[in-house]
Amino acid sequence: MPKKVLEGVVVSDKMNKTRVVLVIHKTFNKLYRRYIPKRKKYKVHDEENKSKSGDRVKIIESRPYSKEKRFKLLEVIK
């Protein structure tokens, strides 16, 4: 089974080797016939502390690093 690759924006870089990334999904609502944004925050493992707050990043699903960290940083886009 392939691993999930998501794209989002770093909203917090205050923790050491951990970033909080906000990912926005757009889902179609059948009743209102509109795309509605759904937001979710993921805690991401960043071994080298490469990303900063406001950076657009790609994250990939990985082994559990802690109770809440299930993703790791794949690359910093901008």
The reported pTM is: 0.90
Domains of the chain: 5-76 (2.40.50.140)
Q: Which long-range contacts (CB under 8 A, 24 or more apart) does 37-44 make?
A: 41/11, 42/6, 42/8, 42/70, 42/71, 43/18, 43/19, 43/68, 43/69, 43/70, 43/71, 44/18, 44/19, 44/20, 44/69, 44/71, 44/72, 44/73
pLDDT (tens digit, 9 = 90+) per residue, 1-42? 899 999 999 999 999 999 999 999 999 999 999 999 999 999
